[in-house]
Structure 1
Amino acid sequence: MNRRIRTLLFSTLFPNSVKPVHGIFVETRLRELLKSGAVETKVVAPVPWFPSANPRFGEYARWAAVPKRETRNGIDVLHPRYPLLPKVGMTTAPLALALAALPAVRQLQAEGFDFDVVDAHYYYPDGVAAALLARWLGKPLSITARGTDLNLLPQYALPRAMMHWAARRADASIGVCSALMDVLRGWGIDGQRLHVMRNGVDLERFRPLPQAQMRQELGLDGAPLLLSVGLLIERKGHHLAIEAMPALLQTHPQARLAIVGDGPERERLKALARNLGVQARVSFVGAVPNEQLLRWYSAADALILASSREGWANVLLEAMACGAPVVATRIWGTPEVVTPQSGGVLFEPREAAALAAALQQLLAAMPAREDVRRYAEGFSWQQTTQAQLALFGRLAGLSLSST
C-alpha cells in the first residue's frame, strides 16, 4: 500500500490567528514532521466557548474571535468550541472537549480525510479527551506528554485517575524528556508503549547573528545582557532573575536583565524590581514574535530559565542555537538539555542566591559562542521526525517503505 500516513492532531495547545504563539511548540513539531512528505495531517484544536468577541471581555473575547476553521502554514485547522464551566471545569473538561470535537472529526471524515492515528498533545485534559475520541472512532492513539501535565496535574485525584485510564488506553505515549516517561513507568504502563522523542530546534530560524549589531538595533549598550524569556507567571521564575540582580550587580555592576514575554505577573515583577532598587537594570520587553527571538538571543550573553517545572523547554535550545549559553534550574528534563558540554550552568535549590552564584560562575568563564552553537546543532529535528514516522507507521499498519 503506497500512501502517506494520515494523522489527526488533537490538542487545545495549537496556535491560531488570534493567539499565534499559543502552543507553538506543538505546531513546530508537526511542521517538521510534515517536511518528511510521508505524513498528511489535519488539526482539531478546540477553544473555550464564549458568546462575544467584544474586547471589553478581555481574554475570553480573544477566544471568541478565533475562527472556526483556518489554514496555518498550509495546515488545515478546525477550532470547535467547548464549554469551560467555572469551578468544575477542570474535571468536566475531558468529556466536554471530546463531545465538542467529535462533530468536527466526523466532518473531516465526511470530507474524505479518514485518518489512521490520533496524535494528541498534553495528557490532561487533551489526552483523556483524545482517548475517548479514539475509543469512539476505533482509531489507534498516541499521547505526547509535555511537562506540567505529568509533573503537576497528577496531584489532583480525579485528573490523575483519568490520566491513568488514558495512559492504559493509549497505544503509545511520547515524552519530550525521559523524566516524563518515568512517571508513566511508575504508573505501571508497559515500557514498550513509552517513547522519548525530544524537541529539536529549528537551526535555520535560530542562528547566531552579530552580537554587536543586534545590540545596536535593539538599543542596547555593551554591558553584560541576561535574558529571561517566557510567559510572565510564577512558574517561569522571572521573579528569581530579578531577585538575583542585587548580588550579581556587586560583581558585575553594569549587568542588565531583559525580560521577554507578557502575562499576569507583569506589574508585580515591575514592583519587585523597584523594591529591590534594580529597576534601572531591568527592562520589560513585552511579547516578541517567535521568529524575532533570535535577535534577542544573539544580543544576549546568557539566557536564564528559573522555572519550577519544565518538560523540555524550547527556549534552552533556541538560545544555544544563537550562541547564548544557559543558566537554568536543575529540574525534570532540563539536565538532558543543559549538560556540561553545552557550556551552560544548572543551579539548585531554586533560590535567588543559587541563581546569582550560577550567573557569576558563567560570566567568569564564558564559553565560546561558536561552541555553544555547535552543541545545539546536535539537536536537529531529524531524529524525532524519523521516530514519529516509525511509530505512526506501525500504529497505522504502514511500514516506512510504503509511505
Structure 2
Amino acid sequence: MLRVLTLSTLFPDASRPNFGVFVERQTLGLAAHPDVELRLVAPVGLPPWPLKAHAHYADLAKLPERETWKGLDTHRPRFTTLPGTGGRFHAVALRRRLIPLLTRIRRDFAFDVIDAEFFFPDGPAAIALGRRFGVPVSIKARGADVHHWGHAPATSAQVIAAGHAADGLLAVSQAMRVDMAALAMPPEAIRVHHTGVDLDRFAPRDRGVAKAAYRVTGPLIVSLGALIPRKGHHIVIEALASLPAATLLIAGEGPERAALTAQIARLGLGERARLLGSVPHVALPALLGAADVMALASSSEGLANAWVEALACGTPIVVTDAGGAGEVVTDRAYGRIVARRAPAFAAGIAAVLADPPAPYAVRRGAERFTWEANTARLYEHLASLVKR
C-alpha cells in the first residue's frame, strides 16, 4: 500500500468551491486507487493584524482546521503571509506551521511520499519536510506557480532550489517542462503529467437549447477564467466589436471587473458582452455546451483545463500560443492558435464560425485527457520515487 501525503495550497473549500477544482479531482482519483492511502493537507495563508478582518480572509479564517472533504481526511492549517514582502517568507512560514502537524499525522499515518501539488510555497516547504521525515518529495508545476514565482525576485531562488532538490518533478505540459528546464531545473527529472476531463459531464448537447438558457440566439463566444490581466479578457472583448452578430459570455471574477465593465460600455457592446461572475464548476458543461467558440487570450498557461473541457463539449477553441496550447490544438477541428491581439482573435473566431467543425470531431481532441490516465501515471510516478 502506497501512503501518500498530498500537500496543496491550491484546493477548494466551502468559501472557494471553484478554487483548484482540478487538483481536487486529481487527488480524489489518486485516493480511490486500490493501492493508495492518502491524507490531504490544504494549508490556508492568512495575513496578520487587521487585514484578517477583510471579508475574503474572514471567510477563510472560519474554515475548520480539519474536516472530511468529499471523503478525504483533510487538514487546513493556517500559515502567516506577510503583505508587501513579495512572498519571500511564505515557504518558511508554511514549513514551520507544518512541522508539528506532520509530526502528529505521522504517528498514525507513516506516509511514504510527499506529493506537493503546487510549486510555491508548497514545493520549498515540502523539500524541507521530506528531509525532516526521511521521505521522497514530488512537486508538480501547473503554470503561474512557476511562471510568476519562478521569476519573481523575492522567490525565484527558492523555486529553483526546490526544483533541484525534489526527488521527482511533474509538469502539466511539455511546454511547462521546457519552461522549468529554462530555469535550470534538471530536465531528466521532469515528467509530463497531463490533466484529465470528465467525459461524462463535459459532452456535446443541443446547442440551440443550451443557448436559450442564456437568452442567446446567434453565435456565442464563451471565455473562462479569473478577471485578471493575464487571462486577456479585454482582448476578446475588443475582438467582439468586430463580430457584430456574436455574443460574449465571460465566466469568472476578479479585480478587473470594473475595467472590463467600462470597456464594454465604451465599445457600446451592451448585452452582447456579459460578465457572469463566478460560475460553479458543475454549471460549466452547460455553458461550454452552449458556445460555438471558447476564446481565451492568456499571456501564460500551463495547460488550461478550460481548453480541454471546451473540446469535450464539442466546442472549438481560439487561444494564444501559451503553455501547452500546441499540445491541445493538434487538429484544425479543435480550433485556432492566434496572436494575442484583438484583430487576430476576431479573425480566428470568425474563421471557426464560418466553417464550424462537427461537435464529435472536436470532442476527439479531449479524449486523450482522462482522469483514469492521470491517476495511473501519478500512482506510477509516486511509487517509483518510493521504490528508488
TM bracket, shorter-chain basis: over 0.9
- Contact persistence 2:44–2:76 (CA under 8 A): yes
Root-mean-square deviation (Å): 2.0
Aligned to 1:317, the other structure's residue is in SS state helix
| Correspondence for 1:378 | 368
Q: Select 2:246's aligned residue among 236, 243, 255.
A: 255
**Equivalents in 2 of 1:212, 1:370: separation in Å?**
16
Q: Aligned equivalents of 1:333 and 1:375: distance in 2?
A: 13
Cross-structure match for 2:351: 361
Q: Report how far residue 80 of structure 1 moved.
A: 0.7
Q: How does 1:35-46 map to 2 (within 5 A)?
A: 35-46=32-43
> For the structure 1 residues 390 and 166, does the alpha-carbon distance in structure 2 shift closer, same or farther, using more than 3 Å as the test?
same
Deviations 1:61-114 (A, max 9, x none): 12212211111111111111111112125100010011112222122112x111
Q: Distance in 1 between matches of 2:160 and 2:302?
A: 19
Amino acid aligned to 1:130: A
TM-score, length of structure 1 as denominator length: 0.91
Partner amino acid, structure 1, of 2:118: Y
CA distance in 2, matches of 1:255, 1:184: 39
Of residues 33-42 and 287-296 in structure 1, the stretch that sits farther from structure 2 once superposed is: 33-42
Matching residue of 2:216? 221
Partners of 1:80 and 1:67 in 2: CA distance: 9
In 1, distance between residues paired with 2:313 and 2:219?
16
Question: Percentage identity across aligned positions?
Answer: 38
> Using the alignment, how far apart are the partners of 1:190 and 1:230 within structure 2?
31
* Selected match of 2:314 from 303, 323, 329: 323
Residue of structure 2 equivalent to 1:239: 234
What TM-score comes out, normalization by structure 2 length?
0.95
Change (3 A) 1:52 1:151: closer
Give the aligned residue type for 2:231.
Answer: K
Change (3 A) 1:231 1:147: same
Task: Report the residue type matching 1:239 in the other structure.
Answer: H
Structure 2 equivalent of residue 230 of structure 1: 225
Kept in 2, the 8 Å contact 1:50–1:61? The answer is no
The equivalent residue for 1:57 is: 54
Matches within 5 A, 1:111-130: 112-130=108-126
Equivalence for 2:150: 154
As a proportion of its length, which structure holds more helix? 1
Deviation at 1:271, TM superposition (A): 0.7
Residue of 19, 22, 25 corresponding to 1:25: 22
Equivalent of residue 390 in structure 1, options 380, 383, 387: 380
1:190-234 residue CA offsets vs partner (Å, 9 max, x unmatched): 433210011111112212222222223x24232101001111111
* Equivalent in 290, 300, 304 of residue 299 of structure 1: 290
In 2, Cα distance between the equivalents of 1:108 and 1:312? 33
Residue in structure 2 matched with residue 401 of structure 1 by the alignment = none
**Cα gap change, 1:61 to 1:31, in 2 (>3 Å):** same
SS in 1 for 2:366: helix
- The amino acid across from 2:122 in the alignment is D
Structure 1 pair 150/49, CA: closer, same or farther in 2 (3 Å)?
closer
Is 1:203 the counterpart of 2:202 in the alignment?
no
Number of aligned residues: 388
State the secondary structure of the residue aligned to 1:25: helix
Q: Measured at CA, do residues 49 and 193 of structure 1 come closer, stay the same or move farther in structure 2, by a change above 3 Å?
A: same
3-state DSSP of counterpart to 2:248: strand
Matched, 1:76 2:73: yes
| Contact 2:47–2:82, Cα closer than 8 Å, also in 1 | no
2: CA distance, partners of 1:52 / 1:282: 40
The SS at the match of 1:240 is: helix
Residue ranges of structure 2 left out of the alignment (5+ in a row): none
Q: Deviations over 1:38-72 (max 9, x none)?
A: 21111111112367999972212122122111111
Q: What is the deviation of 1:343? A: 2.4
For the residues of structure 2 that align with 1:160 and 1:53, how far apart are their CA atoms?
A: 29
**SS of residue matched to 2:275:** strand
Deviations 1:138-187 (A, max 9, x none): 11000000011222323223412111211111000000011222233334
Gaps of 5+ in 1: 399-403
Asked if structure 2 preserves the Cα contact closer than 8 Å seen for 1:53 and 1:61, the reply is no
| Conserved 8 A contact 2:237-2:264 | yes
> Which residue of 2 is the match for residue 194 of structure 1?
190
Distance 1:64 1:297 in 2: 34
Q: How does 1:93-112 map to 2 (within 5 A)?
A: 93-110=90-107, 112=108
